[in-house]
Chain A
C-alpha cells in the first residue's frame, strides 16, 4: 500500500451493523418460507395496495412476509447510505467498487423478491433470491472487514509466529463450501424436500438411502455437505490454532465457527425430527448465514495477513520458528 489508508470509523461501524442486520433479514426470509407465508401478501411492491396492510403485526403469516419486506426496505436504504458514504470518503477504488456492487445486488435482490411473489414462487426465482441474499451478505462482510482498523493499519502485519499462508487455501475452501451448502439447502427447501429423508441422523435407517430420486438426492447431498463443512471448519480451527494462535482476529471467528457449526447441525436434525417446526427451521437458515459471514471474515483476515507478510518478505526468524516447531512436533 503506497499511502496510508484512513480508518473511517463511521463507515466501518455502518458496514458491520448492516452485515449483522442482513443476517436478521435472511432469518426473517427463512421465517417466511418456514411458515409458507410467501404469498400471504399477494401484491408487490405494495402490500394489499398499501404501505402497511391493516393489522399486519397481528396475523402470523402477514407479519412474517410484510415484516420481511420492511426490514428489506430498511436494508436497501442503509446500503444506499453506505454506498454514498464509501464513494465519497474511501480512497481505495476497489472498495468503492464493492460498495456500488453491493447496492446493485440489493436492488436485484428486491426485484427477485417481488418477481417470486408475482409469479407464485417459482423454484428458480426463490432459490436465486436465497442465493443472492448470501452473496449480498458476503459483500457487506467484505466492506466491514476491509474498513476495519486492523485492515487499514500499517501495523496490519501478523505476529512473527503467524504463518497465514498455511491457512489461506483451507479457509477459502471452507467459505466456498458453506456457500454451496447453503445453495443445496435452498434448493431442498424450495422443492419441498426437507423431509424427503424422514429420519435423522440415519437415512431410512441406514447410512445411505436405499433409493435415490431428486428429493432424496438433494436432501442427502445437503447432509453430506454438512459433514464436509463441519470437517473443514474443525480442520480450519486446528490450523488457525497451530499457525496463527497469536491472531485473535483469526482465532475468534474460527472458534465461533466451530461452536456454531455444532449448533447448526443440531438445528438441521431438529428440522427433520420435528417435521419442519417453524422455530428450528427458521433458526437453521439464520445459522447458515451467520456461518457464511464468520467464515468470510476469517478468510478475508487470513488473506490480509498472508498478503502483508508476503509484501514484507518472509522474516527469517519466522522460518527458524517454524522449523523449531516442526522439530518439536516430530520429536
Chain B
C-alpha cells in the first residue's frame, strides 16, 4: 500500500511480465543506473528499494522484481498483493510477451487492488528494427484498460526514470485519503537506500 505521512510516501511496486522482457534490467537501470547485456533470469523475486523526490513529496519505492519463468506464475499474488503500483513489461520485439502482458493486466483487474497505478512498459525500444508490437497498438490497448503506457529501453535508459516518476506522481491521486479498511500504515525504517533521486520533469 502507499502510505502517506509528512509528504513521505512508501509505495510497494511490483514488476510483472514475461521472462526476458527486461523487468530486472529496468529495475537495475532505475536503482543502480546499470545495464547488463546478459542479465540472468530472476529466481523467485528480488527486492529493491529506491527513493524519488516528486514535487514536494518523497516516494520510497519498495520494488518487487518478479520472475517471469512459468513455474513462478502461481506465486505472483504473493508479490502483487497490497501493491500500490505495478509495471507490466513486455518486449516490443516479441508478440508473445505482449500477449502475456495482457494476461497480467486481466489478472490484476480481477485480483489486484482497484486503486493500483498500473503502467504498461514496452521495453527494448532501442531494437526498432526488430519491432513486432507497434506503439499504436499498445497505446490503444492501454487506453482501453486505463493503463499508463510508455515505451522504454533499459539499455539506453530511455523513459525508465520518467516512468517511475510518472507513477510516483500518480500515487497520491490513486489513494483516496479516507479509506481505513485494510490499510496498514507502517513507516519502515529506511535502510541503506541510495540518495533520493530527484524527478526529472
Chains A and B are bound partners = no
